[in-house]
Structure 1
């Protein structure tokens, strides 16, 4: 029997003993609610390989790590952060919607947003970290965001890297509705700090 583990980003990894063999593939499903990281459920689905050669560890495929910071705080006063991983070359809007990350907030009704056309300006996000992985601002963004800070983007007009990109992107959701200030620290606090 193998061991299924979830890492801090919500990805599953399957470890199999060396003597494990099977004739037919079997699916493994696991659900785990991560307190403080996600409101939804994370479902990891894997397949047990037919031979040991398939079970050999391989290099991880290129992927971009995301940290989405909600516009509201958790009851303990800390930011609500959702960690996700996606392939590069996709629109930020699609990544957020596919990952069940709140994008539109109070504008979520169909008649209040343009569905990704870049004309309504309701999918504004703030890029805290990783702007080097994003495409430059489009003409539609320049028009809609001319009075906003330079690190604000329209998710529907923002392409995240290329298919072979790797890195970290930290996104503040609904920056115009943010009711708190927080700082992004690249390094974890030392043990001597409270």
Structure 2
């Protein structure tokens, strides 16, 4: 979810679309949690980089292994020539080294800038690790990575007891007859009654 920079009844509006399109999204969401404490915490840049570096190494090593194994599993008459496999392996090795260099450079820069504990806001497009910036602001379409807040959830409660709520606010055609109904519900929504149901 992405922050839109807008609020509804004093609560931050979130969107499933980031960047410049966050406010233009078809739906917005509001999170209601216990005492204003969030049920999630951001993953830090250090945590992200500590995981990304071995992940990239493993990813490209596995990719290279699959190229070789896949070729060897083919009947002899269909196998790619050794120089073609070597070329693919070299391309994978170069991509891995480029991605690792980029991550190592980002780790050094983040350390130097004192941002190791800053939230990891990353790009979410399908580009590989060796393209584009590692970290990107939410305004530019980056997505903050988060994990469960271990201090939020009360483990002693039964699983069916709600510990937070998310409501979805959907737009509609202003000329449509149901818009008056929608406006009345939104204006009179019993937020405090909903919040009182948390942990009950």
- TM class by shorter chain equals under 0.3
Which structure is higher in strand share? 1
TM-score (norm 2): 0.19
TM-score (norm 1): 0.20
